[in-house]
């Protein structure tokens, strides 16, 4: 009885196993003798043409400068990703600087040749936008890249916000990135979003370029030149329309690109992408950068020579201040030294007293300025000059065709009028033949030494600036902040028939 019970239990245990085996078992597998497999050797996959760059000796240009890469606006890239562009810029002699969070953009742009902002996702402030606009107006180059694959997240709202950030920076130049990507389902490089582009304009950016490949690029709306465009089958994901869809554009000193991937590794080796990268490097450094007081004190790019007028004495105070100037510019790898005569390979700082002598006057040509040599005491006598050239008691100073009669002790500045010369120190800035010339003039040498001290202090913002002329007012505590200088409103004595003066009125 007990044995029978055990057999029943074993049977109940085996019945489900046997049932599952019979239900799922389909026999013993026997491999087919004529198994058909793909002919992998005969498969042909379309590969893009490679244009591996040829290594060559570094070529440095005369216009090498500083390129600032933006990393302060939540930019969705790493500087190492742009290594091929960075390497090209360095070969051209450029210094690479990054704008990090918390740094002052205006300060970095003072000594920059170009500003590059790639995939920014945090808004620029109004002050920053104005600084960038002023930078481009004085010859600086700007490149902005907005890539649809480089937003803060994959959400549609994030992609839209990243476009708005770039467009706000480009608004002064009437360039707009669309919130889309370009595609071509007929002719592409392995994927419908990897599109072939050809030059639409002939300039330095499209030189030696026949075809490039962009990867998931944004299209651009602009009144400016269309640099690179797809064929009639290259369409926008926003409207599914095309017809010469713009993917890169240039407006003066501003370049906008809809793709970042093409200049990263290994994609820069495809088609003529590397040639485009080198053209961009040249573009960023070849701007006709005009030096203005907005760049102060980073005004110079060549060794600095100091020339003095014959009235200047090289005393201890002046030499100490020049020593401080040397220390300041040494940090920029610029040497400062006195020159006996002008040398065109140097930028210049000229030091002189009012009224300027012939040496200084030669460099003041082009400035709308006029000096007198009379003192205030001499002016009270009010002499005149008769037909024989002899002085009488009622002399006046004769203006040029565009300048009024000057009273003694006055300086005439176009756009301002007549200003008392011993109340101010004057700085004149000009760029000629690729070099910068800064002229410092004051009523006496002590004040001139104090004026020279403004350069390493970098505090020119406390002076009044009228175009290329800066006026700094002197008081007992040194040079002080200057609002609009007061201009003499008293009517000047009418001129006589004496000959018109030159820049310096005797």
| pLDDT value of position 40 | 66
Between CA 200 and CA 243 the distance in angstroms is: 12
Name the nearest CA neighbour of 147 among 284, 232, 264, 283: 264
Q: Which residue has the higher pLDDT, 124 or 496?
A: 124
Instruction: Please state, in angstroms and rounded to a whole number, the distance separating the CA atoms of residues 294 and 126.
Output: 17
The CB-based long-range contact list for 458-465 (8 Å cut-off, 24+ gap) reads 458/296, 458/297, 460/293, 460/296, 460/297, 460/427, 463/427, 465/293
b/e map 208-223, b = 16+ CB within 10 Å: ebebbbbbbbbbbebe
- Could you read off the pLDDT of 5-29 as tens digits, one per residue? 887 778 777 888 877 877 777 667 6
Cβ distance 476 to 467 under 8 Å? no
Q: Report the length, in residues, of the chain.
A: 506
Q: Tokens 């760049």 — which residue? A: 295
Q: Which of 207-211, 328-332, 340-344, 421-425 has the lowest mean pLDDT?
A: 421-425
Pair of tokens at residue 377:
């005491």
- Token pair 């007990």 is found at 2
CA distance 51 to 274: 7
Burial class (CB in 10 A: 0-12, 13-18, 19+), 175: buried
Q: H or E segment at 257?
A: strand 254-257
User: Which of the pair, 317 or 154, is modelled with greater confidence?
Assistant: 317
| More confident position, 115 or 418 | 115
Q: Do residues 182 and 258 touch, judged by C-beta distance below 8 A?
A: yes
Q: What is the pLDDT of residue 214?
A: 93
Over residues 139-150, the pLDDT tens digits come to 899 999 998 988
The pLDDT score that the predictor gives to residue 116 is: 96
Share of the chain above pLDDT 70, in %: 78
Nearest to 348 by CA among 431, 472, 425: 431
The SS3 call for residue 221 is strand
Contact between residue 473 and residue 424 where contact means Cβ atoms under 8 Å apart:
yes
Token look-up 């000009």 returns 430
Q: How confident is the model at residue 385 (pLDDT cuts 50, 70, 90)?
A: very low
Residue 66 and residue 97 in contact, taking contact as beta carbons nearer than 8 Å: yes
Give the Cα separation of 187 and 322 in Å (integer).
65
- Alpha helices (runs of H) in 341-485, residue ranges in sequence order: 358-363, 376-381, 445-452, 454-457
Q: CA-to-CA distance for 121 and 268, rounded, in angstroms?
A: 24
Angle at 140 between CA 135 and CA 143, to 5 degrees: 100
Domain boundaries, the chain: 66-285, 293-505
Mean pLDDT of 164-186: 91
Average of per-residue pLDDT across 231-240: 86
429: phi then psi, degrees, rounded to nearest 5 = -120, 130
What are the pLDDT digits (tens) for 392-446? 444 344 444 444 566 777 888 887 788 877 778 888 988 877 788 999 988 888 8
Q: Which of 239, 263, 313, 216 lies closest to 118 in space, CA to CA?
A: 263
* Confidence grade of residue 494 (pLDDT, cut at 50, 70, 90): very low
Is the CATH number of domain 66-285 1.10.10.60?
A: no
- Exposure string of 332-366, with b = 16+ CB inside 10 Å and e = fewer, is eebebeeeeeeeeebbbbbbbbbbbeebbbebbee
Residue 266: cis peptide before it, omega within 30 degrees of 0: yes
| Contact between 413 and 369 (Cβ < 8 Å) | yes
CB 405 within 8 A of CB 495: yes
Cα 179 to chain centroid, rounded: 26
- Do 387 and 378 meet the contact criterion of CB atoms below 8 Å apart? no
Helix, strand or coil, per DSSP, at residue 448: helix
Task: Look at residues 112, 133, 138, 209 and name the one whose alpha carbon lies nearest to residue 175.
Answer: 133
pLDDT score at 340: 86
Identify the CA nearest to 82 among candidates 143, 165, 168, 160. 143
The residues that bridge with 11 in the sheet, in sequence order, are none
- Over residues 38-63, the pLDDT tens digits come to 776 766 656 666 665 554 444 544 44
pLDDT tens per residue, range 153-171: 777 777 788 889 999 999 9
CA distance 390 to 403: 24
The mean pLDDT value for 255-261 works out to 93
Give which of 251, 349, 283 is closest to 88, Cα–Cα.
283
Contacts of 20 (CB under 8 A, 6+ apart): none
CA gap 434, 428 in Å, rounded: 17
Coil, strand or helix at 428: strand
């Amino acid at each position: 009885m007990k044995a029978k019970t055990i057999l029943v239990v074993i049977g109940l245990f085996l019945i489900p196993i046997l049932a599952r085996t019979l239900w799922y078992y389909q026999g013993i597998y026997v491999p087919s003798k004529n198994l058909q497999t793909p002919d992998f050797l005969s498969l042909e996959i379309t590969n893009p043409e490679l244009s591996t760059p040829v290594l060559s000796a570094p070529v440095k240009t005369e216009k090498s400068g500083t390129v600032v890469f933006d990393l302060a606006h939540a930019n969705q890239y790493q500087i190492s990703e742009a290594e091929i562009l960075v390497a090209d810029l360095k070969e051209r002699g450029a210094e690479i600087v990054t704008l990090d969070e918390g740094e002052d953009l205006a300060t970095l742009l003072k000594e920059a040749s170009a500003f590059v902002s790639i995939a920014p996702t945090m808004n620029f402030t109004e002050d920053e936008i104005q600084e960038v606009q002023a930078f481009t107006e004085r010859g600086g180059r700007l490149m902005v890249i907005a890539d649809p694959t480089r937003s803060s997240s994959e959400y549609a709202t994030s992609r839209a916000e990243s476009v708005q950030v770039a467009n706000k920076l480009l608004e002064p130049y009437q360039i707009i990135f669309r919130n889309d990507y370009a595609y071509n389902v007929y002719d592409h490089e392995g994927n419908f979003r990897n599109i072939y582009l050809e030059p639409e304009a002939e300039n330095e950016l499209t030189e030696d370029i026949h075809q490039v490949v962009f990867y998931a690029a944004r299209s651009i709306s602009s009144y400016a030149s269309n640099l690179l465009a797809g064929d009639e089958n290259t369409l926008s994901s926003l409207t599914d329309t095309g017809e010469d869809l713009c993917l890169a554009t240039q407006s003066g000193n501003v370049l906008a690109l809809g793709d970042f991937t093409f200049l990263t590794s290994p994609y820069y080796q495809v088609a003529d992408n590397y040639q485009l990268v080198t053209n961009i490097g040249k573009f960023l450094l070849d701007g006709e950068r005009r030096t203005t007081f907005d760049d102060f004190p980073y005004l110079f790019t060549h060794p600095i020579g100091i020339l003095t007028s014959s009235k200047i004495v090289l005393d201890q105070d002046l030499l100490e201040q020049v020593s401080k100037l040397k220390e300041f510019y040494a940090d920029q790898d610029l040497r400062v030294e006195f020159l006996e005569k002008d040398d065109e390979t140097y930028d210049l700082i000229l030091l002189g007293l009012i009224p300027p002598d012939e040496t200084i006057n030669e460099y003041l040509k082009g400035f709308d300025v006029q000096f007198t040599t009379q003192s205030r005491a001499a002016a009270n006598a009010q002499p005149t000059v008769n037909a024989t050239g002899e002085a009488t008691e009622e002399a006046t100073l004769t203006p040029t065709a565009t300048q009024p009669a000057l009273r003694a002790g006055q300086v005439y500045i176009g756009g301002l009028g007549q200003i008392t010369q011993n109340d101010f120190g004057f700085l004149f800035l000009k760029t000629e033949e690729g070099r910068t010339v800064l002229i410092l003039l004051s009523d006496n040498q002590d004040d001139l030494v104090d004026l020279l001290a403004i350069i390493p202090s970098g505090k020119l913002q406390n002076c009044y600036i009228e175009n290329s002329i800066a006026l700094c007012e002197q008081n007992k505590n040194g040079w002080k902040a200057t609002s609009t200088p007061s201009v003499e409103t008293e009517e000047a004595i009418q001129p006589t028939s004496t000959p018109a003066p030159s820049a310096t009125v005797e």
